[in-house]
């Protein structure tokens, strides 16, 4: 009773009712227990995808080690040419792939397409970087000496991605890791395996067209946690880039750092928007709607806390509640839908439990709070007025729940913004230049993403993406994030005939 045939775009992507979930860089293997992927609008099975066995994992690593030999020798601009072809292929497949993201994850089509666009954008960015990355040249204090920096690839990069951005987060990591000369092993989330298989097939086509060695990119979809655990404990994996919960991120960090390998961690966010009385309130309202209701509250960057200046608190909430009432909830693939379902039945449980906890802590539900009376994982977007110190407010619940509280002055608002353990994204709405600069300064937001007059979510790929504190400290995507995929060298060369020592030291003279 698979519903595969209802969706014609699946076959276009080379998928079928039964798929293999392990790509060793050349062949589709995957002889482990199959997973059944479900449609979040009705929890009906779409297709099956087999998992990778431990032996198959091993084969992937061996292929990658060989592929690294060739790939790391290729000049960066040549690697860039391959990435450019990859970009073209993602452009060609944007429509069906965006639909698949929407179907399997549950986000609306426009956001599904936007996610594929994010992969296209980062590939383009990586192509540009492949001709522009450079190290610094530093003046040496010694005569006939020169100091400069080198950036070499690390080797094998393991990328563990979450269900909510099943395509783009892999895209960010793979584009930069490949551009800098690494090979990539992808462990995709087990509830979105079709996106992982379809994405990998696109890479496979391009790599084969260029007759590249097998093993540049491998895919392992794991049975439960076994494959993920194998990947993080494997000393042959030089860098682990992990996106997911803080709890699992902590474990990844402990395991990987134990033997001094590297991580990029992008864990939980608990993002706030501050709205000052002097702000453009219409702009703020639209931004809050997108950031709190978009992706049904399942972005790392979703706005979960709203900090409103007292003088506008009542009137603004009235407008916001009115806007929440008009949000069309339904099939994410249908035109006009603004909010799709939550990803899993389990997400609905978490949503309901959080609302119960909030109520117990004195929270007042101003809008929403219920599961919809129909099949699938549909819930109402929810607004809860509550004390900003409440325990539940300091936790990340991956659902469309917005906690609101008033503030008196900017210092207090910033304090509230910073008082949670997470530190991913933050925004202020104000037209006052003094507040803006305070907000981005040393006593301002402690998050990795510090916005003014834009939502907390929907970052462009050009800036470094990531956050502080329990968010994990890693930076992915733009700016100089590419450096994290590299072994950094400070190189000092003496091209003279003397051996002057630094700091003026005389040794045995
Ligand atoms: C995530 O939720 O893990 O800024 C990534 C955003 C997107 C990426 C989100 N560009 O919302």
pLDDT digits (tens, 9 = 90+) for 490-502: 999 999 999 999 9
Using the mean position of ligand 1's atoms as its centre, give its distance from the Cα of residue 242 in Å.
14
Residue of 266, 380, 470, 476 with catalytic role: 266
CB atoms closer than 10 angstroms to residue 311: 12
> pLDDT tens digits, residue range 475-493?
999 999 999 999 999 999 9
Tell me the C-alpha distance between 336 and 123, whole Å: 30
302: pLDDT strictly greater than 80 = yes
> pLDDT tens digits, residue range 312-322?
999 999 999 99
Average per-residue pLDDT for the chain: 97
Provide the pLDDT for residue 224.
Answer: 75
Q: What percent of the chain has pLDDT over 70?
A: 100
Is the CB of 107 inside a 6 Å radius of any atom of ligand 1? no
Strand 18-19 to 44-50 pairing: parallel
Using the mean position of ligand 1's atoms as its centre, give its distance from the Cα of residue 220 in Å.
23
Beta bridge pairs of residue 187: 160, 220
By alpha-carbon position, which residue is closest to atom 7 of ligand 1? Answer: 458
Using the mean position of ligand 1's atoms as its centre, give its distance from the Cα of residue 459 in Å.
7
Residue of 300, 380, 396, 476 with catalytic role: 300
Tell me the C-alpha distance between 4 and 332, whole Å: 17
Whether 276 sits among the annotated catalytic residues: the reply is no
Is the CB of 457 inside a 6 Å radius of any atom of ligand 1? yes
Is the CB of 114 inside a 6 Å radius of any atom of ligand 1? no
Strand 464-465 to 401-407 pairing: unpaired
Quick one: tokens of 241?
A: 């880039």
* Rg, C-alpha atoms of the chain: 24
Judged by phi (left if over 0) then psi (alpha if -120 to 50, else beta), residue 368 lies in left
Q: Is 141 exposed, middle or buried (0-12, 13-18, 19+ CB in 10 A)?
A: exposed
> pLDDT tens digits, residue range 51-91?
999 999 999 999 999 999 999 999 999 999 999 999 999 99
Tell me the C-alpha distance between 210 and 202, whole Å: 13
- Which residues, in sequence order, are CB contacts of 373 under 8 Å at separation 6+? none
> pLDDT tens digits, residue range 415-452?
999 999 999 999 999 999 999 999 999 999 999 999 99
Provide the pLDDT for residue 4.
Answer: 98
Considering only residues 141 and 508, tell me which one the structure prediction assigns the higher pLDDT: 141
Quick one: tokens of 168?
A: 């783009």
Q: Probe ligand 1: pick from 459, 466, 475, 476, max atoms within 8 Å of CB?
A: 459
117: pLDDT strictly greater than 80 = yes
Is the CB of 300 inside a 6 Å radius of any atom of ligand 1? yes
Tell me the C-alpha distance between 484 and 241, whole Å: 10
What confidence category does residue 225 fall into, taking pLDDT thresholds of 50, 70 and 90? confident
Provide the pLDDT for residue 307.
Answer: 98
What's the pTM? 0.97
Question: What is the value of ipTM here, to two decimals?
Answer: 0.98
Element of type H or E holding 112: helix 109-129
What is the greatest pairwise CA distance in the chain?
88
User: What's the whole-number mean pLDDT along residues 166-189?
Assistant: 98
Is the CB of 302 inside a 6 Å radius of any atom of ligand 1? no
509: pLDDT strictly greater than 90 = no
Closest to 185 measured CA to CA, from 226, 257, 238: 238
User: Is there a contact between 187 and 228 (Cβ–Cβ < 8 Å)?
Assistant: yes
What confidence category does residue 135 fall into, taking pLDDT thresholds of 50, 70 and 90? confident
293: pLDDT strictly greater than 80 = yes
Provide the pLDDT for residue 274.
Answer: 98
> pLDDT tens digits, residue range 359-414?
999 999 999 999 999 999 999 999 999 999 999 999 999 999 999 999 999 999 99
Provide the pLDDT for residue 35.
Answer: 96
């Amino acid at each position: 009773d698979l519903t595969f045939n209802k969706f014609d775009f699946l076959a276009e992507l080379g998928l079928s009712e039964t798929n293999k979930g392990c790509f060793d860089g050349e062949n589709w293997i995957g002889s482990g227990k199959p997973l059944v992927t479900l449609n979040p609008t009705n929890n009906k099975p779409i297709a099956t995808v087999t998992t990778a066995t431990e032996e198959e994992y091993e084969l992937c690593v061996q292929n990658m080690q060989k592929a690294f030999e060739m790939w790391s020798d290729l000049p960066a601009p040549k690697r860039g040419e391959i990435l450019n072809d990859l970009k073209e292929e993602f452009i060609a497949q944007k429509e069906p792939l965006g639909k698949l993201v929407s179907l399997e994850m549950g986000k609306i089509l426009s956001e599904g397409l936007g996610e594929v666009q994010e992969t296209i954008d980062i590939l383009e960015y990586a192509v540009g970087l492949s001709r522009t990355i450079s190290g610094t040249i530093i003046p040496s204090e010694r005569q006939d000496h020169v100091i400069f920096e080198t950036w070499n690839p690390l080797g094998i990069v393991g990328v563990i991605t979450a269900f909510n951005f099943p395509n783009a987060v892999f895209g960010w990591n793979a584009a930069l890791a490949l551009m800098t000369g690494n090979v990539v092993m992808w462990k995709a989330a087990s509830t979105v395996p079709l996106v992982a298989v379809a994405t990998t097939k696109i890479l496979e086509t391009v790599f084969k067209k260029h007759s590249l060695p097998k093993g540049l990119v491998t895919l392992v979809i794991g049975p439960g946690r076994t494959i993920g655990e194998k990947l993080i404990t494997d000393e042959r994996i030089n860098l682990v880039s992990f996106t997911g919960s803080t709890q699992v991120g902590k474990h990844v960090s402990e395991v990987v750092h134990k033997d001094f390998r590297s991580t990029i961690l992008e864990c939980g966010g608990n993002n706030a928007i501050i709205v000052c009385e002097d702000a453009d309130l219409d702009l703020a309202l639209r931004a809050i709607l997108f950031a709190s209701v978009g992706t049904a509250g399942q972005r790392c960057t979703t706005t979960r806390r709203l900090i409103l200046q007292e003088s506008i608190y009542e009137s603004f909430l009235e407008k916001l509640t009115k806007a929440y009432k008009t949000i069309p909830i339904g099939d994410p693939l249908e035109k006009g839908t603004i909010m799709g379902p939550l990803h899993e039945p389990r997400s609905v449980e978490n949503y309901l439990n959080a609302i119960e906890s909030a109520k117990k802590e004195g929270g007042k539900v101003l809008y929403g709070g219920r599961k919809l009376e129909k099949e699938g994982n549909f819930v109402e977007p929810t607004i809860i007025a509550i004390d900003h110190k409440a325990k539940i407010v300091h936790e990340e619940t991956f659902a469309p729940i917005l906690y609101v509280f008033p503030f008196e002055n900017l210092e207090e608002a910033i304090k509230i913004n910073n008082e949670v353990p997470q530190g991913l994204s933050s925004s202020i709405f104000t037209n006052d230049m003094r507040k803006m600069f305070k907000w981005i300064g040393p006593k301002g937001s402690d998050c990795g993403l510090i916005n003014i007059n834009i939502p907390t979510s929907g970052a462009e790929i050009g800036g470094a993406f990531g956050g502080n504190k329990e968010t994990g400290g890693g930076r992915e995507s733009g700016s100089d994030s590419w450096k994290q995929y590299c072994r950094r060298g400070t190189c000092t060369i003496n091209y003279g005939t003397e051996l002057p020592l630094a700091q003026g030291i005389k040794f045995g003279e």
